[in-house]
């Protein structure tokens, strides 16, 4: 019988253009904050999982988990680096969950981070594109924005999603990001400014048709950390431990064009179903949700494939304000990848951290009232490896 697992602390290092800090500094900052939030001493940590996609390529540091264990005075704790593209953070939390549930470790620190701003944008775009299928996609010049653009065009044709709906998501997530002190982007935008005014043509230029500037998440530096432990000792560290009620992970066909229906994110569907089944809960029970909106269209598609809305209807929910902070199902109160930012190795952990703050009632201005159950999905590649979690507060 697996042990129950709880999240007892979380911390983040400011997302953004962090020229002032190294990757190691960012990881240490987030880790220290998470341990302080937990009230945890270094000697209590039995394992450290570090998620980063590009540490070796961008910061010339490999085996970063071993180095961080020493820097944080965690030696002789076990330490591993976890790499699963943009779902690295989710994978790291999942592996921590497994290790605790199996009884291997009692307390695990999970931290993820990235320094992506120190190289030109075209270099980052290319590095991220190496996740795509090497012979069916990458060799032909496919990038993540171009895949997302083709996906969006299909979605628009099939389900009637319009540019207006994508802009509404950007406006909503920027609004939420303004309330998140860790967010990369603290800038209000308006529908008039990016969609309906004549100037929107310049304000919100096409990047990969039909996607525009404000449909893309920024390239960010940053780090996020959470501390997990077995539920039976969680009360030692937190008055309100948050239980990892459900975990799911699934893969999908690598080349997007080879999927039976490219507009269906099968790995989102399967991983979320697994997580809900394990939690014995349903999408309708969720109070707050964090989705992987690397592109605005993904918030729509993931919210449908995770079961929150019928396929082809999420854009109407966005229009009706259902997914806004004060709506029936707030999505991305943190600002999402769109405004909080997307240091790829940190994102999955930042999602879990945000939901932990939400469920503990510690989310400040962006707090979703009386949130007790939450869901997040961390989307790797172009949906070919997805990790989902259901979290709940134990009262």
Rounded to whole angstroms, the Cα distance separating 273 from 283 reads: 9
Taking the complex as a whole, the smallest distance from the CB of residue 171 to another protein amounts, in Å, to 10
Tokens in use for 341? 């930012």
159: number of Cβ within 10 Å: 18
* Contact set for another protein, span 97-126 (CB under 8 A): 120
Nearer to another protein, 17 or 274 (CB): 17
Work out how close the CB of 119 gets to another protein at its nearest, in angstroms, rounded to a whole number.
12
Are residues 152 and 166 in contact, defined by beta-carbon separation less than 8 angstroms? yes
Answer yes or no whether residue 143 interacts with another protein by CB under 8 A: no
Q: Which residues contact 14 (CB under 8 A, 6 or more apart)?
A: 181, 182, 222
**Coil/strand/helix, residue 378:** strand
* DSSP type of residue 311: T
Which is nearer to another protein, 205 or 321 (by Cβ)?
205
Query: Alpha carbon 200 to chain centroid distance?
Result: 28
Q: What is the DSSP letter of 308?
A: S
**Does residue 181 bind another protein (CB under 8 A)?**
no
Which CB sits closer to another protein, 6 or 194?
194
Q: Does 164 bind another protein (CB under 8 A)?
A: no
Choice from 36, 70, 199, 282 touching another protein (CB under 8 A): 199
Interacting span for another protein (CB under 8 A) from 150-158, 197-205, 291-299, 302-310: 197-205
- Token pair of 148, please? 């997302």
- Residue 202 near another protein by CB under 8 A: yes
Q: How far is the CB of 16 from another protein (least distance, A)?
A: 9
- Regarding 17 and contact with another protein (CB under 8 A), the answer is yes
Question: Where in 46-65 is the site for another protein (CB under 8 A)?
Answer: none
Q: How far is the CB of 237 from another protein (least distance, A)?
A: 32
* 78/183 Cα distance (integer angstroms): 31
CA-based radius of gyration for the chain: 19
**Binding positions for another protein, rule: CB under 8 A:** 17, 19, 120, 187-190, 192-194, 197-205, 214
């Amino acid at each position: 019988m697996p042990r129950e697992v709880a999240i007892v602390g979380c911390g983040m290092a400011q997302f953004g253009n962090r020229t002032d800090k190294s990757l190691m500094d960012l990881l240490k900052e987030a880790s220290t904050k998470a341990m302080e939030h937990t009230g945890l001493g270094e000697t209590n940590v039995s394992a450290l999982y570090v998620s980063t996609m590009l540490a070796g390529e961008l910061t010339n540091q490999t085996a970063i988990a071993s180095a961080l264990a020493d820097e944080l005075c965690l030696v002789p704790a076990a330490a591993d680096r976890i790499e699963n593209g943009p779902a690295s953070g989710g994978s790291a939390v999942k592996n921590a969950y497994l290790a605790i549930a199996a009884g291997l470790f009692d307390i695990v620190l999970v931290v993820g981070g990235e320094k992506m701003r120190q190289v030109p944008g075209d270099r980052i775009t290319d590095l991220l594109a190496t996740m795509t299928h090497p012979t069916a996609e990458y060799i032909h010049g496919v990038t993540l924005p171009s895949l997302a653009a083709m996906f969006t065009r299909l979605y628009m044709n099939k389900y009637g999603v319009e540019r207006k709906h994508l802009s509404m998501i950007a406006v909503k997530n920027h609004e939420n990001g303004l309330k998140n002190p860790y967010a990369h982007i603290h800038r209000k935008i308006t529908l008039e400014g990016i969609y309906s005014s004549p100037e929107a043509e310049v304000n919100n230029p096409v990047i990969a048709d039909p996607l525009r500037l404000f449909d893309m998440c920024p390239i960010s530096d940053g780090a996020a950390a959470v501390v997990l432990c077995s539920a039976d000792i969680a009360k030692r560290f937190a008055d309100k431990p948050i239980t990892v009620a459900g975990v799911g992970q699934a893969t999908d066909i690598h080349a997007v064009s080879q999927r039976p229906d490219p507009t269906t994110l099968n790995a989102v569907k399967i991983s979320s179903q697994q997580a809900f089944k394990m939690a014995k809960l349903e999408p309708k029970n969720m109070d707050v949700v964090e989705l992987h909106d690397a592109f605005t269209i993904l918030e729509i598609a993931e919210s449908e494939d995770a079961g929150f809305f019928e396929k082809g209807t999420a854009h109407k929910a966005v229009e009706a304000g259902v997914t806004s902070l004060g709506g029936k199902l707030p999505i991305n109160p943190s600002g999402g990848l769109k405004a909080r930012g997307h240091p790829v190795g940190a994102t999955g952990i930042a999602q879990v951290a945000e939901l932990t703050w939400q469920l503990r009632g510690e989310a400040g201005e962006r707090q979703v009232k009386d949130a007790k159950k939450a869901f997040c999905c961390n989307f790797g590649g172009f949906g070919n490896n997805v990790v989902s979690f259901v979290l709940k507060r134990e009262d």
